[in-house]
Amino acid sequence: MDTSGIIKKIEEYKKEAEEFKSVNIEEIEQFRIRFLGKKGVLNSLFNEFKNIPPEEKKKTGQLINELKQYVSDKIETLKREGEQKLSGQKKARDLSLPSEHIILGSRHPISIVKNEIIDIFSRLGFYVSEGPEIEDDWHVFSALNFPEEHPARDMQDTFFIEQNPDILLRTHTSSVQVRVMESEKPPLRTISPGRVFRSEAISARSHCIFHQVEGLYIDKNVSFSDLKQTLDYFAKEMFGEKTEIRLRPSFFPFTEPSGELDISCNCEGKGCNLCKYTGWLEILGCGMVDPNVLSACGIDNNKYSGFAFGMGIERIALLKYNIKDIRLYFENDVRFLRQFTSAL
């Protein structure tokens, strides 16, 4: 038998295979079936191969095998290219795919409440002032009319820096207000949020570090009713429209008269554990600025009067979120922190 016919065929098929080009998976499959399928080109060549004379078999067999190898390799390569192109297209074009999940952090409850307090008082024209956490005796105690022997100056309550009785960690942010009174001229309307330190045992109810917002308003003819009105507004904005306030007489060296402000408990007087069955919850200390404080800070106490108030942010947050243990604020357990979200 003449083998030139089959060799010619092999060459033609080779040419056809070489010319085939596609990244379309279906077209590649058609190509595979045409060459490698049961009734494909290669099987028919192998069938023909059976009939050629033995001395021609070696050369022809080699050519058929080469064609088979070439076609198999080509299919593999084309498939890979096709898949790559397809996944690239998907990434670039499929706008309907859900976006990757981004886990947003949440603000610390103390920051949320602090920002809310600032927000409420800024609506009344109060601006924020800040000062150092490491202070001197003058700004924390002396200027604020603390008598020499006042227990707040005692080692029990105050952290001193390197045994120096004059340099200490501020025990309240009233120190910032002294700085404002010393450096600015009335009228003054400022709030000072910040971290404060007291040498107290850590328990569910108290901590050696906590946060305060203190407020100060100084102008001509400031009266106790201005104070009461301001605090009533704050309580209603913070805890809801229905909140009632109650002022009880108290004592602070820097205010006279002094008071403590209670808000009505959500149990509406029915009595609950939180308000210890009194119907009232204490939220802050306040009073009219003592004239001695005004003059110590260089303000004419015949011309000006003022009110001041101070609250612990932990306590406000505790009442707002019903948190039972103050230590939770400082442990930074994400299971606790994750529960707080806010726009502020």
Binding region for ligand PHE (CB under 6 A): 172, 174, 214, 252, 255, 258, 285-287, 308-310
Q: Cα(254)–Cα(249) distance, rounded to whole angstroms?
A: 14
Distance of CA 166 to the CA centre of its chain: 38
Q: Cα(230)–Cα(189) distance, rounded to whole angstroms?
A: 12
> How near is the Cβ of 205 to ligand PHE at its closest, in Å?
15
> How near is the Cβ of 320 to ligand PHE at its closest, in Å?
19
Q: Cα(114)–Cα(128) distance, rounded to whole angstroms?
A: 11
- Choice between 41 and 144, CB closer to ligand PHE: 144
Query: Which letter does DSSP use for residue 108 in this model?
Result: -
Q: Cα(325)–Cα(198) distance, rounded to whole angstroms?
A: 18
**Cα–Cα distances in angstroms (integers) from residue 124 to residues 41, 61, 131, 240, in the given order:** 90, 98, 22, 17
Q: Cα(214)–Cα(284) distance, rounded to whole angstroms?
A: 9
Q: Cα(326)–Cα(338) distance, rounded to whole angstroms?
A: 17
> How near is the Cβ of 325 to ligand PHE at its closest, in Å?
21
159 token code pair: 């952290």
Q: How many residues does the chain have?
A: 344
> How near is the Cβ of 113 to ligand PHE at its closest, in Å?
17
Query: Which letter does DSSP use for residue 149 in this model?
Result: T
- Choice between 52 and 313, CB closer to ligand PHE: 313
**In the chain, which ranges are E strands?**
127-128, 134-136, 160-161, 164-169, 188-197, 209-219, 245-252, 255-264, 280-289, 305-312
Residues in contact with 35: Cβ distance below 8 Å, sequence separation at least 6, in sequence order? 13, 17, 41, 42, 71
- Choice between 13 and 254, CB closer to ligand PHE: 254
> How near is the Cβ of 198 to ligand PHE at its closest, in Å?
9
- Choice between 117 and 308, CB closer to ligand PHE: 308
| Sequential DSSP letters for 19-37 | H-----HHHHHHHHHHHHS
- Report the residue number whose CB is nearest to ligand PHE: 310
> How near is the Cβ of 227 to ligand PHE at its closest, in Å?
10
Q: Which residue has the tokens 């007291």?
A: 198
- Choice between 98 and 151, CB closer to ligand PHE: 151
- Choice between 78 and 311, CB closer to ligand PHE: 311
> How near is the Cβ of 104 to ligand PHE at its closest, in Å?
35
- Choice between 177 and 243, CB closer to ligand PHE: 177
> How near is the Cβ of 97 to ligand PHE at its closest, in Å?
55
Angle between helices 41-49 and 25-36 (to 10 degrees): 10
- Choice between 74 and 211, CB closer to ligand PHE: 211
- Choice between 41 and 222, CB closer to ligand PHE: 222
66 token code pair: 């080469």
Q: Which residue has the tokens 């229905």?
A: 242
> How near is the Cβ of 314 to ligand PHE at its closest, in Å?
13
